[in-house]
Amino acid sequence: MTRTLRAFFLARFLREKLLLTGIVVLVAALWLSSIASRAGRFVHVARVTAASLSEQARWLSNRAAIDASAQAAAGRLDAVRTLDTTRLLAEVNAIAVESGLKNITSGEPKDVSSGQFSVHTLQFNVMKADWGTLKQFYLELGKRSPYIGIEQCSLQVDRANQALLNANFQISSVEIARN
């Protein structure tokens, strides 16, 4: 087969030989480019995986210290003062009313339970509030720490009145299962 291709190639005119050589070089360049791109992606994925495994190994090697720290933190919490979903919603609404917030809405609470602990998350929205009132709400929530915490907060200027803010909070609480 190689002899046949060689004979075919040598029987061509110079311009045809150059054209065939150019096509072969172009195909080879595309092929090598594809291989280089795949190799680059493979190296990147390998590095990310190695970094992830290294981080996981670090967490696993520190497991005893992390467990001890979690037990110590849980020991400082009073199980009676932790909030379930209903109490979280009631407490946040009470804090909002105390702070003077008027236009408030809350989403459906979500629960994640893992044995001894349950984490309850609530989406809480405030519309058309001034900065002082929102700050008072934030400070009052801070006083309930570590039983209530703000996971996310986003503020936006109200389009109708530039002096007022719209705020979206993701508020969470931890509940310790009572034995």
pLDDT over threshold 70, residue 50: yes
- Whether 144 and 90 map to the same domain: the answer is yes
pLDDT number for residue 175? 84
Mean pLDDT of 61-83: 82
pLDDT number for residue 179? 57
Q: How far apart are CA 63 and CA 25, in angstroms?
A: 56
CA dihedral 16, 21, 24, 28 (to 10 degrees): -160
- The domain that holds 162 is classified in CATH as 3.30.70.60
Q: Report which listed range, 32-46, 95-109, 148-162, is most confident.
A: 32-46
pLDDT number for residue 7? 87
- Whether 54 and 100 map to the same domain: the answer is no
Is residue 65 in a domain? no
Is residue 70 in a domain? no
pLDDT over threshold 90, residue 26: yes
The pTM for the full model equals 0.59
Boundaries of domain holding 50: 2-58
pLDDT number for residue 178? 64
Is residue 64 in a domain? no
- Whether 25 and 112 map to the same domain: the answer is no
Q: pLDDT band at 140, cuts 50/70/90?
A: very high
When mean pLDDT is compared across 50-59, 78-87, 142-151, 153-162, the lowest value belongs to 78-87
Percent of the chain exceeding pLDDT 70 equals: 98
Peptide bond into 146 cis (omega under 30): yes
pLDDT over threshold 90, residue 84: no
Among 166, 160, 179, residue whose Cα is nearest residue 102:
166
When mean pLDDT is compared across 7-16, 111-120, 129-138, the lowest value belongs to 111-120
Q: Are strands 148-157 and 110-114 parallel, antiparallel or unpaired?
A: unpaired
Is residue 66 in a domain? no
- Whether 22 and 93 map to the same domain: the answer is no
User: 129 near 156, Cβ under 8 Å?
Assistant: no
User: 100 near 133, Cβ under 8 Å?
Assistant: yes
Q: How far apart are CA 58 and CA 62, in angstroms?
A: 6
Provide the number of structural domains found in the chain. 2
Is residue 74 in a domain? no
Is residue 68 in a domain? no
Q: pLDDT band at 152, cuts 50/70/90?
A: very high
pLDDT over threshold 80, residue 114: no
Query: Which residues, in sequence order, are CB contacts of 47 under 8 Å at separation 6+?
Result: none
Q: How far apart are CA 86 and CA 74, in angstroms?
A: 21
CA dihedral 157, 148, 112, 127 (to 10 degrees): -20
Query: Which residues, in sequence order, are CB contacts of 177 under 8 Å at separation 6+?
Result: 79, 115, 116, 117, 118
Q: How far apart are the first and last CA of the chain?
A: 82
Taking CA 142 as the corner, what is the angle to CA 137 and CA 147, rounded to the nearest 5 degrees?
A: 120
Is residue 100 in a domain? yes
